[in-house]
Chain A
Amino acid sequence: MSTVEQSAEVGGSTSTPVPSHDGGGGAHGHDPHATATGVTNTKLAMWLFLSSDCLFFGAFIAAYLLYRGRPGQVGPSPSDLFDIPFTSATSFILLMSSLTMVLALAAIQRGDHRRVRIWLLATALLGATFIGGQVFEFTEFTREGLTVSESVFGSTFYLLTGFHGAHVTIGIIWLLSLWGLSNAGRLEQGDSERVEIAGLYWHFVDVVWIVIFTVIYLVPQPGS
């Protein structure tokens, strides 16, 4: 019996049917999944993870800021390498993937499974395009002489953007698995929280890129 049905039979206080969630806490006083905070544990756990991930990315951004423009470094400098129009295009793609992600969430909350699949696949494809752009960028930078071991700038740059790319790749796998579940008919309207949590992760990857794009690519380099 779903939480909605339980709510109607046991509590009877919820006039509008609300999709059930694991740990959602729908029925008054008798929900075995009820939590003390009134929010689902999975969603709270994702927010805690994202909160801790801020410190993770903060460390890499700080390391990059610490070493960029330091004298005595060999190899090409950021201003020699960065192709702002290209990176702007990939940033735009990632920003649009956030839009398609929320549209997927809105679709599953409406119970429109066809659009859920379309938007989930679109988000994954946009993410894959972003990763393709990053691979291309890394290849170009390596060709021009910036490797991980060439300079501290190279190490911190590849570490930061590489870890971000790894996050995006995990997100793509997650989205494709949701798409597969939806195709198999195993992602119901009541499972919208699964899409919402994947979406939180995806948007976080987007907001981290918003910071990286500005701080690493757009802010003028010292001495440029």
Chain B
Amino acid sequence: MTEGTIARVEDEVEVVARGELGHTLESAPGLLPGEIRPHPTPFKYVMIAIVLVIVTAFEIAVSYLDGDIPDGLIVALLMIMMVVKFAGVASWYMHLRTDKPIFQRFFVLGIISAVVLYAVVLASLHTFS
């Protein structure tokens, strides 16, 4: 087998491997490696920051309703707003929305592992009762 044939076979194997993995080693034109869509513009970053500040203001306001509305409702509202802020920063500022899904999978795996593990620990120690 000639060197040229070996090189061609190697290239073809690599193409098949990429197809199997669902990844490409090249960046699309205008994108950085690892991106599937371009990052947001600075203007969009500022808009996201404004939204995050507004949500934080609501969070603080809700915390001051302690005693006026049921604690369960306060906790639920605070948790929802916390998740919104968390997802906002992770999606836009950490670019999980625009980067390859492998990063998202890793991060979500860590979050779910932590939440499940410690929820089980706390539940077994009757923390929620």
Contacts and interface: CB of A to CB of B under 8 A. Distances in A.
Nearest to A99: B49
Contacts of B125: 66
B110 A54 contact: yes
Contact of A40 (B18, B33, B74): B33
Contacts of B18: 38
Interface string A1-42: 000000000010111101101001110110100111111100
Contacts of B9: none
A24 B107 CA distance: 21
A218 B60 contact: yes
B37 to A, nearest CB: 14
A19 B82 CA distance: 35
Interface of B is mostly: helix
A48 B107 CA distance: 7
Contact of A26 (B33, B71, B95, B115): B33
Contacts of A184: none
Interface residues of B, number: 65
Contacts of B1: none
B59 A214 contact: yes
Contacts of B25: 25, 28-29, 31, 34-35, 38
Q: Name the residue among A35, A84, A109, A200 with the largest chain B CB count within 10 angstroms.
A: A200
Contacts, number: 183
Q: Name the residue among A19, A26, A88, A102 with the largest chain B CB count within 10 angstroms.
A: A102
B128 to A, nearest CB: 9
Given A26-B27, A101-B93, A207-B90, A106 B45 contact: yes
Given A55-B117, A95-B53, A98-B89, A47 B107 contact: yes
B118 A37 contact: no
B5 interface: no
Interface string B104-129: 00110111011101100110010100
Nearest to A96: B49
Contacts of A62: 118, 121-122
20 contacts: A16-B29, A18-B30, A18-B31, A29-B25, A36-B21, A39-B34, A47-B106, A54-B114, A55-B113, A58-B114, A62-B121, A102-B93, A203-B90, A207-B86, A210-B89, A211-B82, A211-B86, A218-B60, A219-B75, A220-B71
